[in-house]
């Protein structure tokens, strides 16, 4: 196995996570979540999006969130912008990083963006160029890279073409999204082999939802192919309003626990990350989905799980 020595964890819970929650949270709670995530050592944290509050009311007040983050030098707080109006709002709010996305599925693109794939690329090309001239960093997403809610076939060649288009627009990085959580390790390998024949691995990130419990396994395969940046969401928050049945992103706590156990550097502290997850789940009034955060020895701050045998060396017979 050829795993990277360091992995960038891109935290998406304040945007991709909270946008799927039934109850919108006020801006000051979302701001405190981001502050806690930054205190845990995360350096790229999605801060929100400038979409219509009628379509995604959970993201209303993103300008207030950004205003509260103005003092964090060296950290990235990208905001999603779907159109020219969104870019203008992001600029007015002082954003330094934006995110744009296209879908690899025509069905998803038309349902989510009200555009065909070709129209979405035409929409984003001048927008990304203007953002670059204004000094903003741009990150791109390819949604439904591994499958579509409507079961529309998605080919690796289409995904590679879209990634090339986004990089050509000036995106510093493109995140390949398993939006519905349909990918398996057996599919991720051949998929990446095809995409990486055309796109530099250092410009790609992985975005795996955990609908079928495959996210960590998929990340292991992606790391073996050289990917060293992955999106995750504290407490496993998330889903997609336009992909019914999709579960949240891989839980940040679970991803970090795995990377720590492999000796892969991230700069993120598990204890502080768990505190952030507990904080936001308390305000959502529901339990989180992180398996690691629910493990009793992790909650107690122990470094290792209990031995399968009893303290006296004898195995339980229960």
135 phi and psi, to 5 degrees?
85, 15
Q: Which two tokens stand for residue 204?
A: 């790609």
- Which residues of 42-136 form beta strands (DSSP E)? 44-45, 48-49, 79-80, 97-103
Residue 15, C-beta contacts closer than 8 angstroms, at least 6 positions apart: 46, 47, 48, 49, 59, 79, 80
Using alpha carbons, select from 229, 223, 207, 205 the residue that is nearest to residue 8. 229
Tell how far CA 106 is from the center of its chain.
Answer: 22
- Helix, strand, coil percent values for the chain (each to nearest 5): 45, 15, 40
Residues marked as catalytic: 240
Pairing mode, if any, of strands 8-11 and 173-178?
unpaired
Pairing mode, if any, of strands 97-103 and 137-143?
parallel
Helix (H) or strand (E) holding 280: helix 270-284
**271: helix, coil or strand?**
helix
Residue 133, C-beta contacts closer than 8 angstroms, at least 6 positions apart: none
Task: Give me the helix-helix angle, 215-224 and 252-261, nearest 10°.
Answer: 50
Using alpha carbons, select from 8, 148, 27 the residue that is nearest to residue 79. 27
Helix (H) or strand (E) holding 80: strand 79-80
Tell how far CA 78 is from the center of its chain.
Answer: 11
* CA 160 – CA 175 distance, rounded (Å): 12
């Amino acid at each position: 196995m050829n795993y990277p020595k360091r992995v960038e964890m891109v935290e998406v819970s304040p945007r991709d996570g909270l946008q799927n929650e039934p109850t919108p949270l006020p801006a000051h709670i979302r701001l405190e979540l981001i502050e806690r995530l930054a205190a845990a050592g995360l350096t790229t944290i999605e801060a929100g999006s400038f979409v219509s509050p009628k379509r995604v009311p959970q993201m209303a007040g993103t300008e207030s969130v950004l205003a509260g983050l103005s003092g964090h030098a060296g950290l990235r707080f990208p905001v999603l912008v779907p159109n020219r109006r969104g870019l203008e709002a992001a600029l007015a709010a002082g954003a330094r990083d934006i995110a744009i996305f296209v879908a690899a599925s025509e069905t998803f693109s038309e349902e989510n963006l009200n555009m065909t794939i070709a129209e979405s690329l035409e929409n984003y090309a001048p927008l990304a160029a203007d953002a670059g001239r204004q000094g903003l960093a741009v990150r791109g997403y390819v949604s439904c890279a591994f499958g579509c809610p409507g079961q529309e076939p998605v080919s690796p060649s289409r995904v590679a073409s879209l990634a090339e288009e986004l990089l050509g627009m000036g995106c510093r990085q493109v995140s390949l999204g398993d939006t519905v959580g349909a990918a398996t390790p057996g599919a991720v390998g051949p998929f990446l082999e095809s995409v990486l024949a055309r796109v530099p691995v250092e410009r790609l990130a992985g975005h795996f939802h955990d609908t079928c419990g495959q996210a960590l396994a998929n990340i292991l395969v992606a790391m073996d192919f050289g990917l060293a940046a992955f999106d995750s969401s504290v407490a496993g928050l998330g889903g997609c309003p336009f992909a019914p049945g999709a579960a949240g992103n891989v839980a940040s706590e679970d991803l970090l626990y795995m990377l720590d156990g492999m000796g892969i550097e991230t700069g993120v502290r598990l204890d502080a990350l768990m505190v952030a997850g507990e904080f936001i789940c308390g305000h959502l009034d529901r339990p989180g989905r992180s398996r690691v955060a629910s493990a009793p020895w992790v909650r107690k701050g122990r470094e290792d799980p209990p031995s399968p045998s009893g303290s006296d060396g004898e195995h339980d017979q229960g």
